[in-house]
Each structure stands twice: as C-alpha cells, then as structure tokens.
C-alpha cells in the first residue's frame, strides 16, 4: 500500500529561505505580524490532518466511489469521507485564510496553499469538496450583495456549507457563450433558473448541510454569446430569514459521471427545474464575476497535480530503494544481495529525478503565486496590488497547464518505476496516474490555458507583463553572472530568456498576418515559458544550496536536483521552440477529407 509524509522541510525552505514569506507579507497590514514559527506550526498540524485523516481513505475511496440514489436524487460519498469532513470543520481548517469579518482566521493565502498541497497529496478527490468552496466564497465576497454576503459567507467560512461553480452544459464545454440555462425574473427580486449542467465537481454530496451553487444563466432578452451571461447564487436548500436551512430548492442531481479517476468526488449532472436564485453582480456580467472563482480554481488545479507529483515521487523512491532487479551495468552495487536495488539504474534515477524536479520546482512557483495573491488582496499599496495582479495573471495559465502536464509526466514515470506492480491497484500508483489526467482537462483545458497565455497575457498587452517578469530574470542573471559556481545555471537561464524574447516577437509578427498562428504555437510556447519560470526558480534555489550546503544533505540534494533539471529537463525547450516556429502550415496543409 502507498505511503505519504508531508514535505514540511522543503515547504519551509521555499517559504522562508527562497521567498522569505514573512518579510514579503509585511506590506499587507492584516499579515504584518505573521512569522515563520506561526506558519510552521500551522503547517505541521495541517500535515498531520492530511497524512492521518485523509490519506488512509484515499485508496478505499477510489475503490468504492460515490453512490447516486436515483429515487432521492442524492449522493453518498465513500466510507469515511463525511467523518473526515467533520474533523476538517472541527479543526477550523475551512476558515484558515478567510476574512475575519465573516468568521475567518485571516491567515495568509500562502499558508492555505501549502495546506492544500498536502491534502491533494493525501486525497485529491476528497480535497475537491472543500476546495471549491474557497472560490465560491471569494466570488461572493467580491461581487455579492450585502444580503448575499451575510447569508452565505459565514457558513462557507465555517465549512458548514460548501460551494460549487455550475458552468458547463452538455453542448457547450468550454465555450460558455453557447450556454442555454434560463433565468426568469420574479416579482420578489429572485429568479427561477431552468437548465442542465454537467461535470459539476462536488455538485451533490452528504458531507455538508447545504451546497451553495454559483450558476451561469441567461436573463430574458440577454445578448447572444458570452456578453449575455449572468451569475446567480442557487443554494441546494433555500435559506430562512434566520439563516437556517429551509425547503429543498429544485436543483437535482440526475446522475454521476463514470470517470477515469477522482472516483471519490461526485462529478454531478444537475437539473435546475425552476430553482430559486438571486443575481450576483450586474446583469449580463456573470462571466467576469465568475472569473474570480475560475482563476482561483486554475491555481488550485495546478496545486492538485503538485500534490500528486509529490506523493507519487515519495512512493516510487521508497520502492526503488527496496526492489531488487538485475545488476548495474558497471558491476554489482549490492554484492551481498542476489540483485541490485533498481535505484542504481540510470533510467530509474532519471524518472525519479524528473518527478522530484517537477515537484520542487512546482512548489516554488505555486508558493510564489500564493504570495502574489496575498499582496494583490491585502497590500495597502495600490501600485503593489496592481503589480502583483499583473504578474499573477501572467503566471496563472502556467501554473494550471505546466504543473498539470508535469504531474501527468511525473505520475506516469513513478508508476513505471514500479514496473508491473505499478499497473495493479494494490500499490496505489495507477490511481495517481488516473487522478492526474483530469487536471489537464478541467478548469479550461491546457490548450485553452496556452491560448490565454500567448494570445491574451503576452501578445494582448504587447508583452508588457512578460517584460516585467523578464526584468527579474535579467537582474538575477546580472547579479550572479560573474559567480563561477553559478555558471551552469546562469548561462542556460540567460540563453532561454533571450530565446523567449525572440520567439515572442516572431510569433507576434506572424499573428498580425494570421491569428491562427497563435493557436499553432501556443501549447509549445506555454511549455517553453513554463521552463523559463522553472529555470529562474531553480537557479535561485541552486544559489541558496551552494551557499548553505556544508554538511546538510538537504542542500546537497537540492543542488543535485537543480543540476539534473538544467542538464536533463530544460533542454526540452530547444525542440519546443523549433516546433513553435514551424507555424501553422504543417497543421493545416492536409485537406479535412483526408483525415
């Protein structure tokens, strides 16, 4: 059976040595008093909850799955899920980073980010139930009326209620401009919502008293397309004037999707049959309001794959140290045993180090983005909030797509380390692969993220956001360019920075002639950009490891992993740049009839 140990030491390295989180938060008045000891104490307890409460029900939850009762249109979650959620609420974990005005503890988002990484490692399917509530809460916090805030935010903060986002319909997928769900205004100011929604994660369950659905729908005479979408809050149970749960709202679970992975999460088909909802924000402005939740979800999905990458790596390493198979080509490494442990074989090490490099690089990026989010929300400086917002906008599609692509690669590699034993259920490795695959699809496929990065975030402002991030890289290169020990990291980082600048200019020129050139290059471009960001953080981590390595094996391992990343993973960018430059013609030359 699999195992999991929270990676607290590496989290502390990223938080306190690489990013100096406590100092970075000093400009945020609500977090000015936070210190490293407080952060560490919270994460240590969070790690215990993940490892001791969530991890033991991950494998069994996958095997059992959720059960849909067609008569009552309700869902029962796997054994232990409801009890684990009760412990989660009892421990105060839902309110960790929520505004104290609504009952939250007011800790930084970055602390919640690290907690969720550990919970995703322990049990991604379970973690999706409370995870979606954060996005719903932030959306209502930003766009809800005072009455909506008073009604829903305290219960979402405490975890007594959970939240979802209901976007997709059977015919429209990501193209939300095609949605058909209707909202009919009523004399009392509410609307009756009618339509079908699919792929609604945590859309129905037995873990919380109420579910707060955020639903996209069209008001009468709304403009066609995405400009005619409004957002509504539609609770599973209507709420009485005193805040208690009232009568059942007619939003029903008509079925559960039978999925490749995340079996423990109820991916629901929902039917709204005149369900009562209230407008969130302005009419026909629902999509911009929902983007608060969607962007949070995109960062969260990257975090899901980070968690899976970490736990898959831990299990593959443990197995590789114990499994005896063949002898090293250079001669026996364990002559007292009938064969050598497979960790001596170069390609096994390559697979393990790939997962490790993607986990540790992903952690650095994810924590960095969480700090940006803290500054964007909480800084008392308008310019700092704007700067953080712009940088987070640039990095969000990279977090979602690059980390989930890497999670798929890493979990597959880690399963491969187990050989045939990885393909069977008992080791748990095949579950990580199955669970990881969805993360590349939902919350905007990785192709959508790539189009967003290149088309909107880079070319959309003529490269302004990219240049700002590039300036940070250039300053780091300048500061460390004469350090002989850093040359193996600085030179490839600087070289890739120059190549990204040239590639961006080239693609921008092509796009002016034919916008489809963006679609032809975007996926390759995002992966190159992801490596540029990773190379920057890995170079910074290598610098710290060089300065501190001494006799501490942690820094020796960090330095070795950095060297592996630059030698074995970063060179992927050469082929990707060549592919991006090949452009549109090879993709469109074949007549459709020949496919």
Task: Give the DSSP H/E element, type plus range, for residue 248.
Answer: strand 245-248
Tell me how far apart the alpha carbons of residues 133 and 135 are, in angstroms, rounded to a whole number.
Answer: 5
**80: CB partners within 8 A, 6+ apart:** 56, 57, 60, 61
Kindly give, in sequence order, each residue whose CB lies less than 8 Å from that of residue 172, ignoring residues fewer than 6 positions away.
Answer: 178, 179, 180
**37-61 residues labelled b (16+ CB within 10 A) or e (exposed):** eebbebbeebbebbbebbbbbbbeb
DSSP letter string over 358-395?
HHHHHHHHHHHHHHHHHHHHH-S-HHHHHHHHHHHHHH
Residue 121: closest CA among 431, 473, 329, 345: 431
Name 378's Cβ contacts closer than 8 Å, sequence gap at least 6.
25, 28, 29, 30, 31, 108
Please say whether the beta carbons of 351 and 367 come within 8 A: no
Residue written as token pair 């859309």: 203
Name 218's bridge partners. 182
User: Is 443 marked active-site?
Assistant: yes
Q: How many residues are present in the chain? A: 595
Determine which helix (DSSP H) or strand (DSSP E) holds 527, and give its type and residue range. Answer: helix 516-548
Is the CB of residue 497 less than 8 Å from the CB of residue 577? no
Contact 340, 324 (CB under 8 A): yes
Torsion sign (Cα): 558, 561, 563, 569: negative
DSSP secondary structure code for residue 108 in this structure? -
User: CA nearest 400: which of 294, 323, 507?
Assistant: 294
Q: In whole angstroms, give the CA distance from residue 8 to residue 14.
A: 10
Given 273, 443, 478, 572, which residue is catalytic?
443
Distance CA 384, CA 10 (A): 28
Closest CA to 377 of 23, 30, 42: 30
**DSSP 8-class letter at 324:** B
Q: How far is CA 207 from CA 16, 91, 194, 237, in A?
A: 36, 15, 26, 14
Please tell me the distance from the alpha carbon of residue 569 to that of residue 572, in angstroms, as a whole number. 6
Cβ–Cβ < 8 Å for 267, 257: yes
Question: Are 437 and 415 spatial neighbours (Cβ–Cβ below 8 Å)?
Answer: no
**434 and 426 Cβ atoms separated by less than 8 Å:** no
Active site residues: 443
């Amino acid at each position: 059976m699999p195992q999991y140990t929270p990676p607290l030491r590496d989290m502390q390295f990223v938080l306190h040595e690489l990013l100096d989180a406590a100092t970075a938060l000093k400009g945020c008045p609500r977090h000015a008093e936070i210190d490293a000891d407080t952060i560490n104490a919270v994460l240590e307890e969070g790690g215990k909850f993940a490892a001791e409460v969530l991890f033991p029900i991950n494998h069994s939850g996958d095997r059992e799955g959720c059960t849909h009762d067609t008569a009552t249109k309700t869902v029962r979650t796997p054994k232990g899920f409801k009890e684990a959620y009760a412990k989660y609420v009892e421990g105060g974990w839902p309110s960790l980073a929520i505004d104290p005005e609504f009952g939250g503890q007011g800790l930084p988002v970055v602390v919640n980010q690290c907690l969720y990484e550990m919970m995703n490692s322990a049990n991604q399917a379970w973690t999706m139930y409370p995870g979606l509530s954060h996005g719903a809460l932030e959306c209502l916090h930003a766009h809800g009326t005072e009455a909506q805030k008073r009604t829903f935010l305290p219960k979402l903060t405490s975890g007594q209620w959970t939240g979802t986002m209901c976007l997709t319909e059977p015919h429209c997928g990501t193209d939300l401009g095609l949605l058909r769900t209707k909202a009919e205004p009523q004399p009392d100011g509410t609307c009756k919502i009618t339509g079908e929604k699919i792929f609604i994660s945590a859309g129905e369950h037995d873990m919380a008293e109420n579910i707060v659905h955020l639903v996209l729908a069209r008001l009468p005479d709304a403009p066609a397309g995405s400009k005619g979408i409004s957002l509504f809050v539609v609770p599973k149970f209507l709420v009485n004037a005193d805040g208690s749960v009232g009568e059942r709202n007619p939003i029903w679970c008509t079925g559960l999707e039978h999925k490749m992975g995340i079996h423990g999460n109820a991916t629901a088909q929902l039917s709204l049959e005149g369900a009562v909802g209230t407008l969130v924000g302005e009419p026909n402005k629902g999509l911009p309001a929902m983007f608060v939740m969607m962007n949070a979800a995109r960062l969260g999905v990257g975090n899901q794959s980070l968690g899976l990458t970490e736990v898959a790596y831990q299990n593959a390493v443990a197995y590789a140290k114990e499994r005896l198979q063949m002898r090293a080509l250079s001669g026996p490494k364990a002559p007292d045993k009938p064969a050598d442990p497979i960790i001596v074989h170069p390609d096994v090490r390559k697979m393990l180090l790939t997962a490790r490099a993607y986990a540790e690089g992903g952690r650095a990026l994810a924590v960095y983005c969480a700090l940006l989010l803290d500054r964007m929300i909480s800084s008392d400086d308008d310019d700092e909030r704007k700067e953080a917002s712009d940088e987070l906008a640039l990095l969000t599609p990279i977090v979602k797509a690059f980390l989930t692509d890497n999670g798929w690669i890493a979990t597959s590699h880690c399963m491969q380390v187990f050989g045939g034993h990885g393909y069977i259920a008992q080791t748990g490795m095949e579950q990580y692969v199955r669970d990881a695959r969805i993360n590349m699809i939902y919350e905007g496929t990785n192709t959508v993220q790539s189009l967003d990065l290149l088309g909107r975030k880079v070319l959309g402002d003529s490269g302004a956001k990219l240049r700002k991030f590039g300036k940070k890289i250039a300053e780091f290169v300048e500061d460390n360019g004469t350090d002989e020990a850093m040359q193996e990291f600085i030179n490839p980082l600087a070289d890739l920075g120059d190549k990204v600048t040239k590639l961006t200019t080239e693609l921008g020129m092509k796009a002016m002639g034919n916008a489809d050139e963006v679609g032809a290059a975007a996926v390759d471009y995002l992966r190159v950009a992801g490596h540029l960001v990773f190379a920057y953080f890995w170079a910074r981590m290598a610098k710290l490891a060089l300065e501190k390595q001494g006799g501490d094996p942690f820094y020796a391992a960090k330095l070795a992993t950095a060297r592996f990343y630059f030698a074995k993973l970063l060179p992927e960018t050469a082929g990707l740049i060549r592919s991006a430059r090949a452009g549109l013609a090879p993709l469109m030359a074949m007549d459709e009839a020949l496919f």
